[in-house]
């Protein structure tokens, strides 16, 4: 390729990328899938790695969201209990006078 020729960058659809990653995750070799699709092995390997990382992060985020929701419910219950005890203290303080 001469210096005057520009190489155009190929753009792949999200569906194409997803299908390529799914094929690798289902057990096909990265090299074979890359060769069949006409893309570089390193490109496909990077996409698979990125997919695995985002999936792991997604699982962690879902677990954290569930834990946050549980803690918020527990906090609301404790705040309600504290408010009831505060009212009871005020009531009994008036009674003892």
48-96 pLDDT per residue, tens: 988 888 777 777 777 888 899 999 999 999 999 999 999 999 999 998 7
Within a 10 A sphere around the Cβ of 35, how many other Cβ atoms? 13
Cα 93–chain centre separation: 52
Dihedral (CA of 41, 46, 51, 53) sign: positive
* 34 pLDDT tier (thresholds 50, 70, 90): very high
Give the integer Cα–Cα distance in Å for 65 and 34.
Answer: 37
Whole-prediction pTM value?
0.53
Closest CA to 21 of 56, 39, 45: 45
CATH class of the region 14-95: mainly alpha
């Amino acid at each position: 390729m001469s210096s005057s020729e520009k190489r155009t960058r190929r753009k792949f659809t999200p569906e194409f990328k997803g299908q390529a990653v799914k094929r690798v995750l289902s057990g096909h070799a990265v090299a074979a899938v890359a060769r069949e699709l006409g893309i570089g092995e390193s490109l496909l390997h990077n996409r698979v790695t990125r997919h695995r990382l985002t999936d792991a992060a997604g699982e962690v985020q879902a677990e954290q969201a569930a834990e946050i929701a549980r803690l918020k419910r527990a906090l609301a219950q404790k705040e309600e209990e504290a408010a009831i005890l505060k009212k009871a203290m005020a009531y009994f303080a008036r009674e003892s006078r």
